[in-house]
């Protein structure tokens, strides 16, 4: 006598359980942005660097005077009262 294995059916989402409603694209999926958007952002930084000659990779660490945060802190601490 052969033993029958239970068949596993995929879980239904609330959207597919509604009578007469077809599942919508993306139901139950996590949004993952297309790689082209990420590549476009990276390309934009590279193009801007080529045009201006400025390296923007450390831009978040610089203040308006293009001074690093550590150097700015030292300036403030040594400033006369």
> Which residues fall within 8 angstroms of residue 15, CB to CB, at 6 or more apart?
21, 23, 24, 27, 28
The pLDDT of residue 48 is: 78
What pLDDT does residue 15 have? Answer: 47
Q: Which pLDDT belongs to residue 65?
A: 67
Per-domain residue ranges of the chain? 41-78
The predicted pLDDT at position 33 comes to 62
Q: What is the pTM assigned to this prediction?
A: 0.25
Q: Give pLDDT tens digits along the chain (81 positions).
A: 556 655 555 555 554 455 566 766 666 666 666 665 556 667 777 787 788 877 666 665 666 666 777 787 888 888 887
Query: Do residues 7 and 21 touch, judged by C-beta distance below 8 A?
Result: no
Give whole-number Cα distances, 38 to 28, 55, 56, in Å: 23, 19, 17
């Amino acid at each position: 006598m052969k033993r029958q294995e239970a068949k596993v059916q995929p879980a239904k989402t609330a959207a597919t359980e509604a009578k007469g409603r077809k599942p919508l694209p993306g139901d139950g999926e996590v949004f993952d942005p297309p790689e082209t958007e990420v590549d476009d952002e990276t390309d934009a930084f590279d193009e801007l660097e080529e045009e201006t000659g400025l390296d923007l990779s450390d831009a978040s660490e610089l203040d308006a005077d293009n001074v690093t945060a550590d150097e700015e802190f030292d300036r403030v601490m040594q400033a006369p009262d």
